[in-house]
């Protein structure tokens, strides 16, 4: 089993894309697909060792891949500031992919934020704000959202408060917050040629993903057991497609939301999909933005 052939080799030559969480899962596949099309890829990863494993895996498929590892821990404002200061390249797209799901209510980032909100939303807010001076005039920011955003209720006043209820609900809040940030950024960039968009990978699982050395190892037995689920869900290589599309395709516009176009948006070719009214709300977006600035102490340049 292997990934579908990649379209248009080398059509992204001369463009630089940062992918957060590029050492595993969907982020890895975004990096491999972008590299195969000639983009320079900055792999924003917290573990240099895991990042190098991903680099080797990409190079085994794309020998001339233009890659650089940027150490980046989205759960640490210090690491984010350092990473942003180390980037020298002009950036054409930032894919805010890294994400964490945590069942433990007491789990916190190194700055004391709730782990999911802190990593998935606040970390990316601080990263994009500090990379802003390096963004190309027509740069794109892609927030990797989730179907789970539809079940989330957003309240900026309780963004970082201890949560109750299921961890899936809190995960949904963290992804919805990231999406609301991207839509707010789109509004703030509406007079510029930059674009902020959201994309989601549908339902993407490791057992349906082509093997890559050193990445999520799945036994042949589990792959065989999982094969029938391909009718409903997809591999992480497929999950990367709407995200790479949002970052690179000509038919994407500011404020778009892309996902798999198949049944329930679980799998399928990239298509425009619908985001909830809450994440598109200008009032909620502005409140979350102000809260993110207050909590992180990071502001976008005027």
Ligand X SMILES: NC(=O)c1ccc[n+]([C@@H]2O[C@H](COP(=O)([O-])OP(=O)(O)OC[C@H]3O[C@@H](n4cnc5c(N)ncnc54)[C@H](OP(=O)(O)O)[C@@H]3O)[C@@H](O)[C@H]2O)c1
Tell me which residue of 245, 218, 107 sits closest to 170, measured CA to CA: 107
Q: Is 146 near ligand X (CB under 6 A)?
A: yes
Determine contact, residues 54/34, Cβ cutoff 8 Å.
Answer: no
Q: For residue 246, what is the enclosing H or E element?
A: helix 236-248
- The site string for ligand X over 96-135 (x = CB under 6 A, - otherwise) reads -xxxx------------------x----------------
Measured in degrees and rounded to the nearest 5, phi and psi for residue 280 equal -90, -5
Q: Is 46 near ligand X (CB under 6 A)?
A: yes
171 is catalytic: yes
Determine contact, residues 168/114, Cβ cutoff 8 Å.
Answer: no
Q: Of 3-11, 91-99, 244-252, 278-286, which part binds ligand X (CB under 6 A)?
A: 91-99
Interface residue with ligand X, options 19, 141, 156, 204 (CB under 6 A): 204
- Positive or negative: CA dihedral 104, 109, 113, 118: negative
How many Cα neighbours within 13 Å face the side chain of 17?
32
Of residues 1 through 20, those in contact with ligand X by CB under 6 A are 20
In whole angstroms, the minimum distance from the beta carbon of 7 to ligand X comes to 22
Q: Which residues contact 59 (CB under 8 A, 6 or more apart)?
A: 65, 67
Q: Is 21 near ligand X (CB under 6 A)?
A: yes
Determine contact, residues 273/265, Cβ cutoff 8 Å.
Answer: yes
Q: Is 32 near ligand X (CB under 6 A)?
A: no
Please work out the total of residues on this chain that contact ligand X, with binding judged by CB under 6 A: 29
Of residues 50 through 89, those in contact with ligand X by CB under 6 A are 50, 72-75
Interface residue with ligand X, options 23, 33, 248, 296 (CB under 6 A): 23
Tell me which residue of 258, 257, 246, 238 sits closest to 26, measured CA to CA: 238
In whole angstroms, the minimum distance from the beta carbon of 137 to ligand X comes to 27
Q: Is 260 near ligand X (CB under 6 A)?
A: no
Catalytic residue, from 28, 171, 203, 257: name it. Answer: 171
In whole angstroms, the minimum distance from the beta carbon of 294 to ligand X comes to 21
Query: How far is the C-alpha of 178 from the C-alpha of 122, rounded, in Å?
Result: 8
Determine contact, residues 9/34, Cβ cutoff 8 Å.
Answer: no
- Of 39 and 147, the one with the shorter C-beta distance to ligand X is 147
Chain-centroid distance of CA 10 in Å reads 23
Q: Of 46-54, 56-64, 86-94, 135-143, which part binds ligand X (CB under 6 A)?
A: 46-54
Q: Which residues are catalytic?
A: 171
Residues that bind ligand X (CB under 6 A): 20-21, 23-27, 45-47, 50, 72-75, 97-100, 119, 144, 146, 175, 200-201, 203-204, 236, 239
């Amino acid at each position: 089993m292997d990934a579908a052939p990649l379209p248009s080799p080398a059509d992204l030559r001369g463009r630089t894309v940062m992918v957060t969480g590029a050492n595993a899962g969907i982020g890895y596949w975004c990096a491999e697909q972008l590299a195969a099309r000639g983009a320079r890829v900055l792999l924003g990863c917290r573990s240099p060792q895991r990042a190098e494993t991903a680099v080797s895996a990409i190079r085994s498929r794309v020998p001339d891949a233009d890659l650089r590892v940027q150490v980046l821990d989205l759960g640490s404002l210090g690491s984010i500031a350092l990473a942003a200061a180390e980037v020298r390249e002009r950036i054409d797209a930032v894919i805010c992919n890294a994400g964490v799901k945590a069942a433990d209510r007491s789990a916190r980032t190194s700055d004391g934020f709730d782990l999911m909100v802190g990593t998935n939303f606040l970390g990316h807010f601080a990263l994009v704000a500090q990379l802003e001076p390096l963004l190309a005039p027509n740069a794109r920011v892609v927030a990797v959202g989730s179907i789970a955003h539809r079940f989330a209720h957003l309240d900026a006043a309780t963004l970082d408060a201890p949560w109750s209820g299921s961890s899936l609900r809190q995960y949904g809040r963290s992804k919805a917050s990231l999406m609301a940030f991207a839509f707010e950024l789109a509004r703030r960039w509406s007079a510029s040629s930059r674009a902020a968009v959201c994309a989601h990978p549908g339902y993407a699982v490791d057992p349906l993903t082509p093997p890559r050395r050193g990445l999520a190892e799945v036994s042949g037995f589990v792959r065989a057991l999982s094969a029938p689920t391909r009718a409903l869900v997809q591999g992480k290589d497929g999950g990367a497609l709407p995200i790479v599309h949002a970052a690179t395709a000509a038919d994407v516009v500011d404020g778009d939301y892309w996902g798999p176009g198949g049944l329930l948006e679980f799998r399928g070719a990239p298509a425009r999909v619908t985001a909830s009214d809450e994440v598109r709300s200008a009032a909620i977006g502005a409140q979350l933005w102000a809260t993110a600035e207050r909590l992180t102490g990071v502001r976008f340049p005027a």
